[in-house]
Chain A
Amino acid sequence: MHKWTMVIDLDKCIGCMACTVACKAENNIPFSDPEQAALGRTISWMEVMTTTEGEYPHVKTRFIPRPCMQCDKPPCTKVCPVYATYLNEEGLVGQVYARCIGCRYCTNACPYTVKYFNWFQPSWPAEMQQCLNPDVTVRSTGVVEKCTFCHHRLQKAKGLAKGEQRELQDGDYVAACVQTCPAEAMYFGDINDPKSKVSQMAKSSRAFRMLEDLGTEPKVIYLTEGEWYGVRKD
């Protein structure tokens, strides 16, 4: 069984936010106007969080890209009253938009705050209507959504491999953010495949998982030399 994993090398991240933009384009995430953004209603499945420490001239800014952690023990799926979010057998945490009642219990139970809510019916400028990705559902008002590890790409890759009568190979299925990263700070693959790049990198002494002492067992692995208090642990 596959176990899809993302590795993000924080020491290589340059904070360009190309991953965020790629994600928005890939997953039909609507824009939010400045007013809504100020209210904290921007939807950003892949968010680059920044911390700034110290004072001028000794300032240090750090970036940490944050998709859904796709936990092996997700606190969000337990609390959903209608099975609208669930853990599938390949370890991906899915969202069933058509079933979600919008109670936002999962958004509140997630310790990483990775879940987003559609406060209004999403809309795009007329010119953009034709640019939506046909592989991804456009969500309606009142439902919760989040990063899916570009699950639709997995479907495509599986179909392609089947057509070519072969097994899935490392690199067949890659999330949009990983594909875009110009600093090559992100990697994607099957951690159960001992030959895959991610399974090699997961063994690194620089590897850690976000808030791993909560026991959520995330499938996003970060690499860094630094300490990262407040992220690595509470």
Chain B
Amino acid sequence: MESAKTERRSFGLRAVRNLFANSKARAGQPLQTGGSRDDQLFAAVLETGRKFHITVAMLLLIVAWAFFAWVTQLWNGLGVTGLNRPVYWGFYITNFVFFIGISHAGTLISAILRLANAEWRRSITRSAEVITVLVLFFGVGNVLMDLGRPDRALNVISHAQFRSPLLWDVTSITTYLTASSIYLFLPLIPDIALLRDRLHGYSAAGRPFPRWRLRLYTFLAVGWTGSEKQQQRLNRAIGVMAVLVIPIAISVHTVVSWVFAMTIQPMWHSTIFGPYFVAGAIFSGIAALLIAMAIIRRVYHLEDYLKPIHFNNLGLLLLVMTLAWLYFTIAEYLTSYYGGEPAHMKVFWAKISGPYAPEFWSMVVFCFVIPFAILTRRKTRTIAGTVVASASVTIGMWLERFTIVVPTLMNPRLPYSRGAYHPSWVEFSIMAGCFAAFILLYMLFTKLFPIVSIWEIREGQEKSVAETVERIESYLPGVAAKEFP
């Protein structure tokens, strides 16, 4: 048994070492798009086309407009939004919950797939982990933009009041951002080293290339040589982080839900909000990941890496979450309805048949009807099909966050102050800017680092067949009797 283990490990390590030898040998040679598999992934990083620049320019325009809107808000006060009394929270807080939810795409899904030894994860983990890290900034950013006095934001540290669920949020999101950044960075190290070696050859061959990138890669590669010891340490660190990151991710969205659930406001004060929000977060997270994967596949011609099977598998996962979402939603709304407390019922009817009925029922269609219809059938569980379902889920989950935040505020317990909420151009602009900025940063990431993990793919190609065979042998009685007596 012991010998089998070492053999297996050295088999994997040999693969990685070979990879390094190959990449060093190939350094300095001209890139061939459509050539060997490695080159396909390197090309995405090293070659930039015109379309990329045009897209960046357009996104920058949107971001600039949003920046203008934000400056308008800073200059005049939050009065330029559509917020009022009693609807004190609107788009910004909806976006905050939404973006934090999307962040569950990455780290959590990637960690679960890694721990489950799901071999098909290899080409999707990186693109998922990047979503987490980037989107968290927009979650936090939206809270900061929602503050009346953003200049005093640091008071949450200097005058921290730990009975406030907002402080719990600050704590858990900071932890999450740190952990998921580490979790993104660790598996990047061998890839960065690959890029470093390749670029080294580039400049040696006299091809023009910005020196800062070489310096950046050399710095970020932290002296990676691909030695056996390094590889062991890295695998161990990734393993530890994968375990650590799961409770952190779950705590983050639970705490986000507690911002609402800890108050005594009708339809917020609910005990299932924690799991409801976590399930919704994973739900919208998978959807966002599927959309990102489809775009990456298209733009960088990664058809060999992101195959229909990936979309099928994630599509099935999305289907499970669709059903989980329905279950939680029914549990939440039926209990409120059956209990029939007057204050709760005012909010309930505002959603079911009142002013927020269009949003509520669109949410049901987008979160359940459309994805369920598409994902249950194998015929429609294609790449295009899962992308349509994912787009639908993303819209639906945004609506869900909105119908949780606003209708409750609009119907406070005392029947005297009733409000309406019409978001202003500032809120729409800033929301558009957040999405544009997120896409922009994501695009820039793909230009700096491989969006599909090169070393993990290679490791998988050479290692996972043997490993899977061995695993199957360990499941079944009799097959590997000599190794597991």
Contacts and interface: CB of A to CB of B under 8 A. Distances in A.
Given A49-B416, A142-B147, A82 B262 contact: no
Contacts of B156: 81-82, 101
B164 A108 contact: no
Contact of B166 (A47, A103, A144): A103
Contacts of B35: none
Given A102-B148, A119-B78, A108 B88 contact: yes
B19 interface: no
Interface in B161-211: 161, 163-167, 170
Contacts of B420: 40
Q: In the complex, which range does the number of interface residues on chain A fall in? A: 35 or more
Nearest to A116: B85
A209 to B, nearest CB: 13
A79 B165 contact: yes
A210 B414 CA distance: 9
Contacts of B262: 79
A108 B148 contact: no
A121 B150 CA distance: 15
Contact of B414 (A102, A143, A231): A231
Interface in A77-99: 78-84, 99
B152 interface: yes
Nearest to A96: B159
B263 interface: yes
A108 B158 CA distance: 23
Contacts of B146: 103-104
A64 B416 CA distance: 10
Interface string B68-112: 000000001111001111111100000000000000000000000
A112 to B, nearest CB: 6
Q: In the complex, which range does the number of interface residues on chain B fall in? A: 35 or more
Nearest to B413: A111
Classify the interface of chain A: helix, strand, loop or mixed.
loop
B343 A104 contact: no
Nearest to B159: A82
Contacts of A109: 263-265
Contacts of A100: 148-149, 152
Interface in B400-426: 409, 412-417, 419-420
Nearest to A42: B85
Interface string A157-171: 000000000000000
A226 interface: no
Given A102-B147, A117-B85, A211 B159 contact: no
Interface in B380-395: none
Contacts of A112: 413-414
A40 B86 contact: yes
A41 interface: yes
Contact of B88 (A82, A104, A118): A104
Nearest to B259: A105
B161 A80 contact: yes
Contact of B161 (A40, A75, A82, A143): A82
A116 B150 CA distance: 18
A102 B156 CA distance: 12
Contact of A75 (B82, B84, B263, B343): B263
Interface string B283-323: 00000000000000000000000000000000000000000
Contact of A108 (B77, B149, B265, B343): B265
A142 B76 CA distance: 10
* Ranked 5 nearest A-B pairs via Cβ: A102-B148, A142-B148, A119-B79, A49-B416, A40-B84
Interface of A: 36, 39-41, 47, 49-51, 64, 66, 75, 78-84, 99-105, 107-109, 111-113, 116-121, 141-144, 210-211, 214, 230-231, 234
Given A40-B87, A81-B156, 4 more contacts: A81-B161, A82-B156, A111-B264, A117-B78
